[in-house]
Amino acid sequence: MSASRRGATAVTIVGAGPVGTLLALLLAADGQRVRLFERRADPRTGPAERGRSINLALAARGLAALAQAGMLERVRPELVAMRGRQLHDRGGGGPLLPYGLRPDELIYAVDRARLNTVLIDAAARVPLIELQFGRRAVDVDPDDGRLSWRDAGGTVVTEEPAGLVVAADGAGSALRQALQRRGLLQATEDPLAHDYKELHIPALAGGGWPLEPHALHIWPRGEFMLIALPNPDHSFTATLFLPALGRDGFEGLADPAAARAFFAREFADALALIPDFDAQFAMHPQGKLATLHCWPWHARRVLLAGDAAHAIVPFHGQGLNCGFEDCVLLARLLAQGSDSQSACMQFERQRRANTDAIAAMAIENYREMRATVLAPDFAARKQLALELERRFPGRFIPRYSMVMFHAEIPYAEAQRRGALQEHVLDALLAARAGADSAVAARLLEEAGL
């Protein structure tokens, strides 16, 4: 029986977001006693935050982690399957480009707050998990794990030393800052010059879908884009990604009339579906995006996980999927019975190359979504990649598919193979060879694939 099963390792998790809560469930399933601190009120009793709904794409990695925690069936009613990208040109038309080769190669839209609430609801029923809301962590002593938190009245309380403290308190992590103040890690944010704003597209008056439901909708416009993901109630959550500055950036759209004119010019079909556009545009917050570069993630009794360690931009739809992968690995390492220090060191070592890889691929995917999809050869290139997968199963899996549908392929390996695949696709397109099996086989051989 492992040390953890004997109850020797107590883990304190700061942040009952999706990563902190899933980690608590996995650890408790292994018999560990977990304390989970959250600064917000209990989401099961309070109102949802408006204009910050964040509709996520969950893919194989996230689904596998949920299944491992026994949560997939509980979450399933919240999911809407998406089988491809539905493009919208300025006239409102455009193709639906399938994501994968097989009918089960789907990604799933889910509301982050709903997903989080389902996980919290499950955690609250587990006796080994002690959930505490309204506690904002403000400091941690990495030597003994002594944690200080502030309650709603502003009183700061310092806890008795905890076991391992896992900071799952998101991209703005207070605990990461506490370690940084002590010179124990270096963290920099690489801000994106583009911000985002969410808009709600309601279901039709009779309850029908306003857009094709089983697709991720994209209005690519080169320097900016609008996307929309479906919700189970037949509404959509749309997100505008736009430069922060400039006349055609958020700066130039401060006046509601300017924002409306911009939408009428660029996204007329979407505008027609948002009856209260002016109010939404004025009221909903403008969010910032950045890639976090942080190292190390571990200092004595404290470990960072999820966005607190490696927040990325959302364009590959992988931030949470990646955070859920963290949970599975960390729970496995802690369950193996080695001491928590070596588990943390192994966690860092195994995750770093992969989180760096998905951070880079997420930035690249922004260009693809807003601009490259408009290139005349984009659809042909995607088709060719899928055709190669059909003819060379297992040997050629398009990079997007490796990231989204193949949880068994680490991100760093997907990035490495993806770079080699680009040369093969370039050569086949240049030679106008299509997916000629003999030529393709030679090129794959030469590329080492």
Q: Does 230 bind ligand FAD (CB under 6 A)?
A: no
- Of the candidate residues 142, 210, 230, 314, the single one contacting ligand FAD (CB under 6 A): 314
> Across the beta sheet with 302-304, what order do the strands follow?
129-132, 33-37, 10-14, 164-167, 302-304, 298-299
The interaxial angle of helices 319-335 and 340-370, nearest 10 deg, is 160
Binding segment for ligand FAD (CB under 6 A), chosen from 31-39, 182-190, 199-207, 434-442, is 31-39
- Give me the DSSP letters along 431-445: TT-TT-HHHHHHHHH
Among 141, 307, 325, 356, binds ligand FAD (CB under 6 A): 307
Task: Using the minimum distance from each CB to ligand FAD, give the nearer residue, 3 or 72.
Answer: 72
- The residue sitting closest to ligand FAD, measured at its beta carbon, is 17
Smallest gap, in angstroms, from Cβ of residue 255 to ligand FAD?
Answer: 24
Contact 31, 54 (CB under 8 A): no
Per CB under 6 A, which region of 38-46, 152-160, 384-392, 426-434 contacts ligand FAD? 38-46
Whole-angstrom CA distances from 178 to 30, 302, 326, 330, 417 are: 30, 10, 21, 22, 38
Among 28, 32, 37, 405, binds ligand FAD (CB under 6 A): 37
Whichever of 216 and 424 has its CB closer to ligand FAD, that residue is 216
- Calculate helix-pair angle for 437-447, 411-430, nearest 10 degrees: 130
Contact call for residue 355 and ligand FAD (CB under 6 A): no
Return the SS3 of 328: helix
Residue type, 43: P
Task: Answer yes or no whether residue 145 interacts with ligand FAD by CB under 6 A.
Answer: no
Q: Which residue type occupies 399?
A: R
**Residues between 368 and 387 with contacts to ligand FAD, criterion CB under 6 A:** none
The CB-of-407 to ligand FAD minimum distance in angstroms stands at 13
Q: Is 112 in the site for ligand FAD (CB under 6 A)?
A: yes
Judged by CB under 6 A, the chain residues 123 through 142 that form the site for ligand FAD are: 136-137
Residue 177: both structure tokens together: 């800052």
**Closest distance to ligand FAD from the beta carbon of 65 (Å):** 11
Distance between CA atoms of residues 256 and 196, nearest Å: 16
CB-based burial label for 305 (10 Å; 0-12, 13-18, 19+): buried
The yes or no reply on residue 321 touching ligand FAD (CB under 6 A) is yes
The CA distance from 177 to 159, in Å, is: 19
Residues that bind ligand FAD (CB under 6 A): 14-20, 37-40, 54, 56-57, 112, 136-137, 168-170, 174, 196, 239, 287, 306-307, 314, 317-321, 323
